[in-house]
Amino acid sequence: MKKKLLIALSLFFAIGTADVSAQNFLKKLEKSVKKEVENRVQKEVKKHVNKGMDKGVETVSGNRSQQTSSQSSPAKASTVQSQSDDIFEVASSRVAVTELATMVEYGPTEGKLNGHAWVDLGLPSGTRWATCNVDATAPEQPGKLYAWGETATKTNFVRENSKTDKKPMDDISGNPTYDVATAKWGKGWRIPTEEQFKELLKYCSYTYEPCGNIYWQKFTSSINKKVIYLPATGYKEGSAKLTYPKTNGYYWTSTPSTDQYNTGAGVYAFAVDEGRMGHGGRSTGGAVRPVADYDVDTEIPADGETNGHKWVDLGLPSGLKWATYNLGADAVDQDGGHYRWGAITTYFKGDKYAKDDVQKDICGDARYDAATAHWGSDWYMPTVRDFAELMENCTWEWTQIGRRKGLKVTSKHNGKYIFLPASGEMNYNCDWDKLPQDINKKLYYWTSSHMPGWQNKYDAYLVTAYKDAACFNSKIRNNTGFCIRPVTK
């Protein structure tokens, strides 16, 4: 068989990859031989096609897969081309990107809410951090200590008098029944979540410094150089005196632990020059540093809503509608979730992603299309052809909306637009706090289109934006997490 295969290949490539007689010859080969020849043909075609393409733009040989999932609908089927459609052209599409003045002025970096001062550290989430702890009037004051989920302080911190110990709880941030920041400082203030503390650590440098007769941590933003201080607070268990009140900090988050016993909650603690996230018993007495959300209007005018998610009609020839924000986001200037290609769970929430044998376009298949899985059968990931249509029919401009830098994609037909934030990526090199890299710096979005052929079975297509152009690239599907912008008919 091997000898027969080599002879067949020699004849085939001697004749030429486009010769009809070679195609007839293939039909006479055994099934296993035919498959190998076809694979090698794809490799040769790809090599010749790539010669005429722009440098740096990766292309693909082969045909678009036709949607075969029983979960697809007639509406989605129109976005998946027939097998006869060649995707060489769409895979090499690119569009010029220009600069645009800031669309929304974010606002001041310092201010007050309900009489309490805040600082804007330039964090991607837009979170504003208070300058003092609850019950403090100056940054160096620790304030009072509270058991997790309680709004009144006490002298004896034990499990027997805890109001939340062993009680199944959701995140308490902003709930005045359990959130002491909201209860005491009013609407708009709340206990920070674990993710907000992680973001603080990600985008700030911190040092351990003396302040009078105590120590504190100084957090300096790597984005805008603004500063906050977290003073040593100590912590308290039982009715004994405070533990390490002048050297250690112990700050509650609003996030409960996920253990089966319901006895813990997220804590940020520091000692000397070391600070880290952890979990503590809910009955322990800890301090609270409130946060407030930004209130700048970043809403993009929408034309409709499907399954609770808004979309914009850009007047595209296909009639396709684009969502106003990313999958997993609540606003246009948020990243949402970062997903491996073919995975319906976010990058660090599970390891289920498309296997090598998923050799088809996954558009609309709820087993692999995260947009369909989470937003319903009317929503799905855009194909390469869908993004190519967006390139051809819209202008692409770098700008800023709210907290985020990204691309404003404006229709040439009706002037309406969507905004794609520069949401970076998740990969194995991300820090332990599991926040994405290159937020506000680099823009990548998955398509639903795989790269067919035996050489490319591990790859899928994504849209990449550079300083002056946006184009398609390929990426190994299972080792990097990118954002998804859903579409609907």
Give me the pLDDT at residue 66, please: 34
Place of tokens 């929430």: 349
Distance of alpha carbon 298 from alpha carbon 295, whole angstroms: 9
Give me the pLDDT at residue 11, please: 36
Model confidence at 87, in pLDDT bands (50, 70, 90)? low
Q: How far is CA 298 from the centre of its chain?
A: 18
Segment among 98-112, 355-369, 448-462 with least mean pLDDT: 448-462
Facing residues of 238 across strands?
157
Question: Amino acid identity, residue 391?
Answer: M
Model confidence at 86, in pLDDT bands (50, 70, 90)? low
Facing residues of 417 across strands?
410
What are the backbone dihedrals phi and psi of residue 450, each rounded to the nearest 5 degrees, phi first? -85, 175
Reported as type and span, the H/E element at residue 43 is helix 31-50
Contact 121/229 with Cβ under 8 angstroms? Answer: no
3-state helix, strand, coil split of the chain in percent (to 5) is 15, 30, 55
Predicted model pTM:
0.71
Model confidence at 222, in pLDDT bands (50, 70, 90)? confident
pLDDT digits (tens, 9 = 90+) for 394-411: 999 999 998 889 999 999
DSSP code of 381? P
pLDDT digits (tens, 9 = 90+) for 442-453: 999 999 998 876
The mean per-residue pLDDT over the stretch 335-362 comes to 84
pLDDT digits (tens, 9 = 90+) for 236-251: 999 989 999 999 999 9
Contact 161/154 with Cβ under 8 angstroms? Answer: yes
What are the backbone dihedrals phi and psi of residue 60, each rounded to the nearest 5 degrees, phi first? -145, 145
pLDDT at 59 over 80: no
pLDDT at 44 over 60: no
Model confidence at 88, in pLDDT bands (50, 70, 90)? low
- Nearest alpha carbon to residue 88 among 66, 65, 58: 58
Question: Amino acid identity, residue 101?
Answer: A
Give me the pLDDT at residue 60, please: 33
Query: How does the average pLDDT of the chain come out, rounded?
Result: 83
Give me the pLDDT at residue 47, please: 41
Greater confidence (308 vs 72) lies with 308
Q: How far is CA 286 from the centre of its chain?
A: 31
> Helix axis angle, 31-50 relative to 2-15, nearest 10°?
40
- Nearest alpha carbon to residue 456 among 83, 31, 46: 46
pLDDT at 156 over 90: yes
Distance of alpha carbon 118 from alpha carbon 380, whole angstroms: 40
Facing residues of 475 across strands?
460
Most confident of 53-62, 65-74, 192-201: 192-201
The mean per-residue pLDDT over the stretch 320-345 comes to 94
Distance of alpha carbon 333 from alpha carbon 348, whole angstroms: 22
Residue 106 burial (CB count, 10 A): 18
pLDDT at 51 over 70: no
Cα-based distances in Å from 440 to 300, 406, 459: 19, 7, 25
Residue 399 tokens read as 């700008």
The mean per-residue pLDDT over the stretch 258-263 comes to 88
pLDDT digits (tens, 9 = 90+) for 1-19: 444 433 443 433 333 433 4
pLDDT at 214 over 60: yes
pLDDT at 351 over 50: yes
Contact 482/472 with Cβ under 8 angstroms? Answer: no
pLDDT at 151 over 50: yes
pLDDT at 217 over 50: yes
